A and B are shown apart, each in its own frame.
Chain A
Amino acid sequence: MTTTLDFSDVRNWLVDPRTDKGIRFLGDGGDWDYHSYADLSLAARRSAAAMTAAGAQPGEVVCLLMPTSYPTLCAYFGAWAAGLTPCMITPPSLTSSTEYVELVSSILRRARPVLMITTERHQDIADSALAAADLPGRAFLHREAEEPVEVPKAGPDDLAILQFTSGSTGVPRGVPVTWQNLAVNVSCTRAWSDWSEDDSVASWLPLYHDMGLVGTLLAAVCSQADLWLMQPAQFLRDPGRWLECMTRATITAAPPFAYEYAVERIAAERIASWDLSGWRTAFVGAQTINPAVLDRFVQATAAAGFDRGTLTPAYGLAETTLGVTGTDHGAPPLAVQVRPDTLRFGQRVELTRQLHLGAEPVPTRNGWLTGCGGPRLGTRISIVDQDGVELPPGHLGEIRVSGETVTAGYTNDADSGGTRFAPDGLHTGDAGFLHAGQLFVLGRMGDSLKVRGRNVYVEDLEAAVVEATGLSPSRCVVISAPETERAGVLLLVEGGRRGWEESAYHTLRSRLGVEPRIRFAVGNRGLIQRTTSGKPRRRGMWQRLQEGTLKASIVEPEVPA
């Protein structure tokens, strides 16, 4: 019987920490460094004292640019202990410092942190970002003061954390999460995993990502459960270290690519040497879930006693704190095959087959989708048409979410892209349908797509195509065109095929990676539908593509030699 947490429970560990449970951090030598919740609480209260001494006042925001480590958690929860709202910043990767400073300063301008906490490694770049955001002061190097603070009280509507979702260039969107939002969402995670006091968590997910932060770190810490924490690079170098954790830990979460990556790279004998029969919940989310990938994971881990009912496909987003739906604990995932030509907005989706994972092999392609279960506690979902009118089960429409896990909206009126907060709930901008009591998610409608758990915005793709090809911005547009098992984009161009194809393909492929489908639609003037203010009607064009009424020749370019 899983108990729900209220807003004061999720922060109570700071004042009443356990000495017998804690967090293990993977060291570079393969050893685990253990800190109990009592250690973490004391270090957090000392870190809080250092932040307070530096001028931070309760209610203010602090940003953290730090890797997964014990000091990072001391600083993160130090912010809680000081009555501050922590916000993790994505570290640089494959980017010039100019581009990176621009990105971070746009976040800082919205978050308006009183401190930017970092380590020596990123001190200079943090200073540059503060200056670029016109914020006073220098980066604050994480440290602890001698005398710990007393943890102040907080109300249910005070802010617990601030998450940023990657928006289109220069427009990251801040999502403030209250203690009440957090308590409800962590309680949902506990309900999906049939949480008991003996459960423990393992994770390698980045802490600047909603699933890594809320779904694993905060779910474990707020419950004072044993937690094994790794850095993403440690997982990528040897994914076996993650699965090996699951011989002791009972709950984990990752995008589907990680389950595939793990079984592709770990020798079968090594997997067979483990006992994975105690692994109770494996959340799968953050990108379209191809059931064939889950099937391969089940086959590869059968010798280790992994139970297919452990897999828990889930759907969620930062705007709803995190999880919205998940499958019933212990139930094997449900896969359905849809007729692709019936995936039309507002229409009934025709299913040709359905099966429970493990009953028979799932073909890799041919229109299969994985059921992501249903909501828990007070969360409600519905499928609505473009006017917000609820559609019957089995019809494709936009996923709408309401309940106390939905946050209040973006900070500073950030441009919301295709996701919209409304009085009747959050209009997610994701297309899906309900079947057999479960949510089936097709993906973003028109404006963005998920690539390995990361949001890619079509405006960014469009700008890059224009820059690379010299096509006029008024004559080309990129829309997201999701397929059942993978993401996809369509580049619409008014005019002819005159030598832009190779550079357009290359530009899109470099930003999307190898997986998503890339297609071109070339047609006459009028192909691109626009609003009276000149904005492309991406959702409308996506609908026409689905209906086969787009007046264009559609080609799928080959990889240029």
Chain B
Amino acid sequence: MDNAFDESTGYAIIAAMAPHPLPRVGAETHLRDDLMFDSIRLIELAMALERQFRLPALDLNESADLTTAGDVLNLVRRQLKTGGRA
């Protein structure tokens, strides 16, 4: 299983799934205020990240302090480290 984590791919997926895509998405880009994510689009983002990084279900909803693109990639990174058994 390929666990290599390419951060720029992660940001590109977040940008591509955003209801309001911005040319530059970085760690501080706000999911709701900058990219206009809502809980529905967040699920679609989770599914795209799971496909790309071969992860089990990512829980992006019902979490506090998951507000920026950097927060999402940190969660992905943690899942990859634990082999998806976080």
B is a partner of A: yes
Contact A97 B36 (CB under 8 A): no
Q: Which residue of A lies closest to B43 (CB)?
A: A236
| Residue B65 lies at the interface, judged by CB distance under 8 Å to chain A | yes
Complex interface residues of chain A between 506 and 541 (CB less than 8 A to chain B): 506-507, 509-510, 513-514
- The distance from the CB of A99 to the nearest CB of chain B, in whole angstroms, is 9
Quick one: which of A28, A96, A452 contacts B38, CB cutoff 8 A?
A452
A67 / chain B contacts, CB cutoff of 8 Å? 62
Give CA–CA (A93, B33) in the complex, Å.
13
Of the candidates A91, A97, A509, the one whose C-beta lies within 8 Å of that of B65 is: A97
**B43 close to A233 (CB less than 8 A):** yes
Closest residue to B42 on the A side, CB-wise? A94
The tally of residues in B whose CB lies under 8 Å from a CB in A reads 24
- A553 interfacial contact with B, CB 8 Å: no
Q: In the bound complex, how far is the Cα of B20 from the Cα of A506, in angstroms?
A: 9
Q: Judge whether A500 is part of the interface by a CB distance below 8 angstroms.
A: no
A93 to B40, CA, bound (A): 11
- Nearest Cβ in chain A — how far from B48, in angstroms? 12
B interface majority secondary structure: loop
The answer on a CB contact under 8 Å between A509 and B20 is yes
A506 to B22, CA, bound (A): 12
Given contact pairs A28-B57, A510-B34, A513-B19, A92 touches B40 in the complex (Cβ within 8 A): no
Q: Which of A84-120 contact B (CB under 8 A)?
A: 91-97, 100
CB-contact partner of B20 in A100, A232, A233, A510, under 8 A? A510
- Bound Cα distance from A513 to B42, whole angstroms: 13
User: Residue-by-residue, is B36-53 near A (CB-CB < 8 Å gives 1, otherwise 0)?
Assistant: 111110111001000000
Interface positions, chain B 56-74, Cβ under 8 Å from A, are 57, 59, 61-67
The distance in angstroms between the C-alpha atoms of A509 and B34, with both chains bound, is 10
CA distance in complex: A513, B44 (Å): 15
Closest Cβ–Cβ distance, residue B7 to chain A (whole Å): 21
A443-473 to B contact mask, C-beta < 8 Å, 1/0: 0000000001000000000000000000000
Contact A100 B64 (CB under 8 A): yes
Q: Does A353 interact with chain B (Cβ within 8 Å)? A: no
On chain A, the residues within 8 Å of B33 by CB distance are 507, 510
Within 8 A of B (CB), among A324-345: none
A236 interface neighbour in B40, B64, B65, Cβ under 8 Å: B40
Tell me whether A261 and B64 are in contact in the complex, defined as CB-CB below 8 angstroms, given that A510-B34, A514-B19 are known contacts.
no
Q: Is A237 close to B, CB under 8 A?
A: yes
Please report the C-alpha to C-alpha distance between residue A91 and residue B42 in the assembled complex, in whole angstroms.
15
In the bound complex, residues from chain B placing their C-beta under 8 Å from that of A514 are 19-20, 36
Which residues does chain A contribute within 8 Å of B39, judged by CB atoms? 93-94, 232, 236
A207 to nearest B CB, angstroms? 12
In this assembly, does B32 line the interface, its C-beta being within 8 Å of a C-beta of chain A?
A: yes
A167 to chain B, nearest CB (A): 19
Q: Are A93 and B62 in contact (CB under 8 A)?
A: yes
Q: How far is the CA of A506 from the CA of B40 in the complex (A)?
A: 19
Within 8 A of A (CB), among B8-34: 19-20, 31-34
How close is B22's CB to chain A, nearest CB, in angstroms? 10
B34 and A95 within 8 A (CB): no
Min C-beta distance of B42 to chain A, whole Å: 7
Instruction: Identify the closest chain A residue to B36 (Cβ).
Output: A510
User: How far apart sit A218 and B84, CA to CA, in the bound complex (Å)?
Assistant: 37
Q: Which residues of B contact A97 (CB under 8 A)?
A: 64-65
Contact digits for A7-28, partner B, Cβ 8 Å, 1 yes 0 no: 0000000000000000000001
Chain B residues whose CB sits within 8 angstroms of the CB of A151 once the complex forms: none
Residues of A within 8 Å of B36, CB to CB, are 509-510, 513-514
Which one of A237, A506, A510 lies within 8 Å of B47 (CB-CB)? Answer: A237
Nearest-CB distance from A38 to chain B (Å)?
30
Report whether B64 and A96 are in contact in the complex, using a CB–CB cutoff of 8 Å: yes
A91 close to B37 (CB less than 8 A): no
Q: Are B64 and A510 in contact, CB atoms less than 8 angstroms apart?
A: no
Tell me, rounded to whole Å, the shortest Cβ–Cβ distance linking B41 to chain A.
9
Measured CB to CB, the closest approach of chain A to B55, in angstroms, equals: 14
CB within 8 A of A92: which of B20, B38, B64? Answer: B64
A100 to B66, CA, bound (A): 12
Indicate whether A554 reaches chain B with its CB closer than 8 angstroms. no
Known contacts A236-B43, A513-B19, A513-B38; A125 and B64 CB within 8 A of each other: yes
Q: Is the CB of A261 within 8 A of B40?
A: yes
Kindly supply a per-residue 1/0 record for chain A positions 351-386, scoring 1 wherever the CB is within 8 Å of any chain B CB and 0 otherwise.
000000000000000000000000000000000000
A95, A125, A506, A507: the one contacting B67 at CB < 8 Å is A95
CA distance A95 to B31 in the complex (A): 10
Nearest chain B CB to A173 CB, angstrom units: 22
Which residue of B is nearest A506, CB measured? B20
Contacts of A452 in B (CB 8 A): 38, 40
Chain A residue with minimal CB distance to B44?
A236
CA distance A333 to B32 in the complex (A): 36
Q: Which residue of A lies closest to B37 (CB)?
A: A94
CA A96 – CA B64 in complex, angstroms?
6
In the bound complex, residues from chain A placing their C-beta under 8 Å from that of B64 are: 92, 95-97, 100, 125
Q: Mark A530-561, 1 if CB is under 8 A from B, else 0.
A: 00000000000000000000000000000100
Rounded to whole angstroms, the CA-CA distance of A100 and B65 in the bound complex is 9
Please indicate the chain B residues that have their CB under 8 angstroms from the CB of A93 in the complex: 39, 42, 61-63
CB-CB under 8 A from B20, the residues of chain A are 506, 509-510, 514, 559
Task: Enumerate chain A interface residues (CB-CB to B < 8 A).
Answer: 28, 67, 91-97, 100, 125, 232-233, 236-237, 261, 452, 506-507, 509-510, 513-514, 559
10 closest Cβ contacts across the A-B interface? A92-B64, A236-B43, A97-B64, A91-B62, A94-B32, A510-B36, A100-B64, A97-B65, A510-B33, A93-B39
A-B contact pairs, 17 of them (CB 8 A): A67-B62, A92-B62, A93-B42, A93-B63, A94-B32, A94-B37, A94-B66, A95-B64, A96-B67, A233-B43, A236-B43, A237-B47, A452-B40, A510-B33, A514-B19, A514-B20, A559-B20
Chain B residues with CB under 8 Å of chain A are 19-20, 31-34, 36-40, 42-44, 47, 57, 59, 61-67
